[in-house]
Amino acid sequence: MKNLDADNVTEAVVASFRRTRDERLRRILESLVRHLHGFAREVRLTPAEWKAAIDFLYAAGRISDERRNEFVLASDVLGLSALVDLLNRPEGATESSELGPFYNPDSPWVPLGADIVRGAAGGERVLVRGRVTDTAGRAIAGALLDFWQAAPSGLYPAQDPAQPADNLRGRMRTDEQGRYAFVTVKPGPYTVPYDGPVGALLRAGGRDAWRPAHFHFIVSADGHVPVVTELFPADDPHLEKDAVFGVRASLVFRYVRHETAEAAAPYLVEPPFYSVDFDFRLAPA
């Protein structure tokens, strides 16, 4: 029997996975073990600190349900979600960003130019419009846009009994020129949930829980890599310290104010209103 000590235990665990059939999985498990052990060695992790980490994971499981995933939030605030996004971005395509916990795959289908405000949301009116193209700039007709956002209050319908369930979301296909457009209100910034273990982590780290306001999009088309992303207004005070590291310079836009209805043509928006003009680029699959 080999005597295990702090120097050889890592190799013993790595060796225990050597019969993993899936080569990629074996590589991931070996690297995971080496980095976990390396981390514990580097900080000389104590039993009490190890227990605190286990308690954190246990609490994350306890507070998670089908509407809330504390593990995703933990990944987000540690920047792991952002890193995985950044490592996997297709060349030339619109940058991706967080999916977030409020995506609902059954948003109502709406026509080009539709108003997606289904309750009394208040707030300033916005026309969001642009085109979907490939990386060479050619229009993609029939591309699918799935979009959702928080109300000016910063709340999603799932968090707010005052909003109809289908408020501020929709699905749309681009026209022959690759155009999309919808009418909505400015979303408000909000905090990520901080009543669970991730909130305790943020407080311990002296961080705040704010995210800048944003519009969520999933843009997809046959033969192309779908993009999950968010658009952020340049004037948001939380842009520099997004709790989940989702902001990319290429995803920041400026609201343009308009005083006449003609500025919205061919769509109908009562002035004054703001416009957001943003084109999405999809890479070939």
Report the C-alpha gap between 247 and 243 in whole angstroms: 10
- Of 156, 180, 194, 274, the catalytic one is 156
Q: Is residue 255 flagged as an active site residue?
A: no
The nearer residue to Fe ion, 125 or 214, going by C-beta atoms, is 214
- Of 131, 214, 224, 238, the catalytic one is 214
Minimum CB–partner distance for residue 187 and Fe ion (Å): 8
Q: How many CA atoms lie within 13 A of 184 on its CB side?
A: 26
Report the C-alpha gap between 39 and 32 in whole angstroms: 10
Q: Is residue 211 flagged as an active site residue?
A: yes
Minimum CB–partner distance for residue 265 and Fe ion (Å): 30
Own/partner pairs, 274-278, CB within 8 angstroms, 24+ separation: 274/124, 274/125, 274/126, 274/127, 274/186, 275/126, 275/127, 275/128, 275/129, 276/126, 276/127, 276/128, 276/129, 276/130, 276/215, 276/231, 276/233, 277/129, 277/130, 277/253, 278/128, 278/130, 278/231, 278/253
Please report, as ranges, the residues that interact with Fe ion according to CB under 5 A.
100
Minimum CB–partner distance for residue 229 and Fe ion (Å): 11
Q: Is residue 190 flagged as an active site residue?
A: yes
The nearer residue to Fe ion, 100 or 170, going by C-beta atoms, is 100
- Output the six-digit token pair for 160: 């707010």
Report the C-alpha gap between 23 and 19 in whole angstroms: 9
- Output the six-digit token pair for 283: 């890479």
Minimum CB–partner distance for residue 138 and Fe ion (Å): 30
The nearer residue to Fe ion, 98 or 134, going by C-beta atoms, is 98
Report the C-alpha gap between 188 and 190 in whole angstroms: 6
- Of 131, 216, 224, 248, the catalytic one is 216
- Of 129, 211, 224, 281, the catalytic one is 211
Minimum CB–partner distance for residue 68 and Fe ion (Å): 14
The nearer residue to Fe ion, 133 or 229, going by C-beta atoms, is 229
Residues 6 or more apart whose CB falls under 8 angstroms from that of 115 comprise: 182, 183, 184
Contact 82, 247 (CB under 8 A): no
Q: Please tell me what DSSP assigns to residue 137.
A: S
Minimum CB–partner distance for residue 102 and Fe ion (Å): 6
The nearer residue to Fe ion, 134 or 230, going by C-beta atoms, is 230
Q: Is residue 156 flagged as an active site residue?
A: yes
Residue nearest to Fe ion (CB): 100
- Of 180, 190, 194, 274, the catalytic one is 190
Contact 172, 109 (CB under 8 A): yes
Report the C-alpha gap between 213 and 187 in whole angstroms: 6
Q: Is residue 18 flagged as an active site residue?
A: no
The nearer residue to Fe ion, 100 or 157, going by C-beta atoms, is 100
Contact 95, 217 (CB under 8 A): no
Q: Which positions are catalytic? A: 156, 190, 211, 214, 216
